[in-house]
Amino acid sequence: MRKILVTGAAGYIGSVLVRQLLAKGYKVRGVDALFFGGESLISIYNNPNFEFIKGDLRNNLIINNSINGVTDVVHLAAIVGDPACAKQPDIATQINLETSKKLFDACNNKNEIGNFVFASTCSNYGKMEHEAYVTEESELRPVSLYSELKVEFEKYILKNEVRDSFVPTALRFATVYGLSPRMRFDLTVNEFMRDTTLNQKLEIYGEQFWRPYCHVEDLANSCVKVLEAPKDKIKQNVFNVGDTNENYQKKIIAEMIINIVPDVIVKYVHKDEDPRNYRVDFSKIKKELNFKITKTVPDGLKEIHNALLDGIISDPYSKHYKNI
Ligand SMILES: NC(=O)c1ccc[n+]([C@@H]2O[C@H](COP(=O)([O-])OP(=O)(O)OC[C@H]3O[C@@H](n4cnc5c(N)ncnc54)[C@H](O)[C@@H]3O)[C@@H](O)[C@H]2O)c1
């Protein structure tokens, strides 16, 4: 039976992915340094098919223990997002690039490991000057340390020669949203809906910029799809993950929010940061891996709105729900 290692298992995406893999009958090992706590794992902690290693992958021993006896790896652990990487550039470089390379090399040296799925990002496309949709073939123009490190590690796993039975794949995730056992409110859709639901106020900058969005359950499911795909379709290949119809400007998301909370006061402000602007084409993953999303941004907004109205999250402004 396959045993999948998920790095960053306690994280926003990892805690959803681990549950999907367990539900499909896989054995799962999670490794996480628990930078944001481990509560997201409570309900699966005693599952006989789940094993957990608490540790920091910067430690070689943790890498060795984590990959020992697994058949596949989904590598999610990282310092996540532009602000978090800008705030601690040395740690971000250590974890997102140097440690990732060490983990990758160790997996390449272990004959029993097949898939290596890497969580990259559509942020790699950076600032596009024109309105056309970018594809996997488009030029990458990272505008932050976070995406520079993602681009560099992508190159490392896609261009370097690997053993025959080792199957690395890079997934460029759209900006994620939705409910997860490890909630994040520093993501556009979640943050906008929180501020609207709790304060009836929404402050938006860069309202004209385009960005693709994808629900956390669908993003996690893309990792499962890759793990189950024929090797020749995915080996040293890269896929954008999302849906072409889910590219939105922030002002379009504001309009969706007004449909849910008509009384919200929307204020557009100017800020000279985060110039990322890109519309992404997601036809490759749909065509080649039959990947389909199950939720759209309006679904996600309603989901967050209802959870907050019901008081499911007791302190949504807590720093635990932010990556900086
Ligand atoms: N959230 C998004 O919009 C988005 C978009 C594109 C790509 N991604 C990528 O998906 C992955 C997961 O993102 P997320 O939103 O779940 O982030 P997250 O911050 O919620 O989870 C990351 C987890 O990794 C763990 N971790 C970090 N460094 C570690 C280390 N050295 N050793 C062990 N554990 C470590 C953290 O404790 C955390 O639990 C990341 O690689 C991220 O770059 C996320």
Are 126 and 261 found together in one domain?
Answer: no
DSSP 288-317: HH----S--HHHHHHHHHHHHHTT-SS-TT
Check if 81 has its Cβ closer than 6 Å to any atom of ligand 1: no
CATH of the domain at 231: 3.40.50.720
108 part of a folded domain: yes
Note the pLDDT of residue 276. Answer: 67
DSSP E strands, 122-215: 133-134, 167-173, 175-177, 201-205, 210-215
Q: How far is the CA of 323 from the centre of ligand 1 (A)?
A: 9
29 in a structural domain = yes
Q: In angstroms, rounded to a whole number, what is the distance separating the alpha carbons of residues 284 and 273?
A: 31
Instruction: Looking at the structure, tell me whether residues 145 and 39 fall in a common domain.
Output: yes
Q: How many angstroms from the chain centroid is the CA of residue 172?
A: 8
C-beta of 11 in contact with ligand 1 (< 6 A): yes
45 and 142 belong to one structural domain: yes
Q: Does the CB atom of residue 62 touch ligand 1 within 6 A?
A: no
Split into its structural domains, the chain has a count of 2
Task: Tell me the CA–centroid distance for residue 63 and ligand 1, in Å.
Answer: 16
- Over the range 149-164, which residues count as b (16 or more CB within 10 Å of their CB) and which as e? bbbebbebbbeeebee
pLDDT tens digit string along 189-225? Answer: 999 999 999 999 999 988 988 999 999 999 999 999 9
Instruction: Record the tokens describing residue 179, joined without a space.
Output: 């409910």
Whether residue 50 is contained in a domain is answered as yes
Q: State the amino acid at position 230 in one-letter form.
A: P
Per-residue pLDDT at 274 exceeds 70: no
Does the Cβ of 76 fall within 6 Å of ligand 1? yes
55 in the same domain as 79: yes
Q: Which domain holds residue 199?
A: 178-212+244-279+294-321
Evaluate whether residue 32 is within a structural domain: yes
- Cα separation, 211 vs 252, in Å, equals 11
Residue pLDDT, tens place only, 215-269: 999 999 999 999 999 999 999 999 999 999 999 999 999 999 999 999 999 999 8
Centre of ligand 1 to C-alpha 7, Å, is: 8
Report the CATH number at residue 274. Answer: 3.90.25.10
Is 101 found in the same domain as 192? no
Cα distances from 240 to residues 138, 192, 286, 293, 316, in angstroms, run: 11, 24, 10, 13, 30
Average of per-residue pLDDT across 279-288: 97
One domain for residues 263 and 140: no
Q: Are the C-beta atoms of residues 276 and 127 closer than 8 Å to each other?
A: yes
Regarding whether 249 and 152 lie in a shared domain, the answer is no
Cα–Cα distance for residue pair 146/89, rounded to 1 Å = 9
Ligand 1 atom with minimal separation from the 146 CA: 43
pLDDT score for 62? 98
Judge if pTM exceeds 0.95.
Answer: yes
Does 184 lie in the same domain as 234?
Answer: no
Q: Is residue 287 part of a domain?
A: no
Q: How many Cβ atoms are within 10 Å of 209's Cβ, its own excluded?
A: 17
The length of the chain, given as a count of residues: 324
